[in-house]
Structures are given as C-alpha cells and as structure tokens.
C-alpha cells in the first residue's frame, strides 16, 4: 500500500473564498471517508463514499460543503464561501470492503483569515 495522500497539505484563504481539497485513497480501496478535526478534539465524520456513491453525510456538512468521487478513485471536498469556523484539519481515510480498518492521510490544514 502506498498510503492515502492529500493535497494540499496546508491552505490559507480569506473568508468568503472557495477552496477545494483532494484525497487519493489507497488503490483498490472502495470506501472513502472525510473527517474534520478541530484543535483539541477528535476527528468528526463528515461524509462517506462507497465507490462513486455518496452514501452518508453528517449534519456537520452544511450546504456550503460538497464532496465528489467521480470515478470511484480520488475524491474532492469543496467548501464555498469559507468562514472562520471552517478552520480545521480535514482528514481523508480509506478502507477496503473486507477489512474494517480505516487508513488516514496526512490531512489538509485549512486556515480561514
């Protein structure tokens, strides 16, 4: 396994701007998760994909957030009209169908000024 990769690693933006993050899961992992981690807290679930289908979204995922996984491989998470409260670490994880372990990427740290 080459591991889960995420880009960019850091993003600084001004309030009101749109940002997009990318996650490349471990190859052949058909399950992909997004989590958000704020300072001093554990990661919180945002959304889940099985192949290209988005099967669950957290109430944390407001309508400013959208996620896609168009071909069942990489995924993108877009935040529109960013707010300072969106500042957090955004983590991506993947797992395969027959194993329960989720493997995490290094995360994208978003700072909204």
Partner 1 sequence: AQSVAQPEDQVNVAEGNPLTVKCTYSVSGNPYLFWYVQYPNRGLQFLLKYITGDNLVKGSYGFEAEFNKSQTSFHLKKPSALVSDSALYFCAVRDPGSATNKLIFGTGTLLAVQP
Question: Residue numbers of the site for partner 1 (CB under 8 A)?
Answer: 4, 6, 31, 33, 35, 40-45, 48, 50, 55-56, 91, 93, 95, 100-107, 109
Nearer to partner 1, 23 or 79 (CB): 23
Strand 75-79 relative to strand 19-24, pairing: antiparallel
Minimum separation from the CB atom of position 98 to partner 1 (A)? 12
What is the nearest approach in angstroms of partner 1 to the Cβ of residue 16? 26
- Inter-residue contact 93 to 105 (CB < 8 Å): yes
Shortest spacing between CB 81 and partner 1, in angstroms: 26
Half-sphere CA count of 30, side-chain side, radius 13 A? 8
* Closer CB to partner 1, 55 or 81, in the complex: 55
Quickly count: other Cβ atoms within 10 Å of residue 67's Cβ.
21
Helix, strand counts (H, E) of the chain:
0, 11
């Amino acid at each position: 396994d080459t591991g889960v990769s995420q880009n960019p690693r850091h993003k600084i933006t001004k309030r009101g701007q749109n940002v997009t993050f990318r996650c490349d899961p471990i190859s052949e992992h058909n399950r992909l998760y997004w989590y958000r981690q704020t300072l001093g807290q554990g990661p919180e679930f945002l959304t889940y994909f099985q192949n290209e289908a988005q099967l669950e979204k957290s109430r944390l995922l407001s309508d400013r957030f959208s996620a896609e996984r168009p071909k069942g491989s990489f995924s993108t998470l877009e935040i529109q009209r960013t707010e300072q409260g969106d500042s957090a670490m955004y983590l991506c994880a993947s797992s395969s169908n027959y194993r329960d372990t989720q493997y995490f990427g290094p995360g994208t740290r978003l700072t909204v000024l």
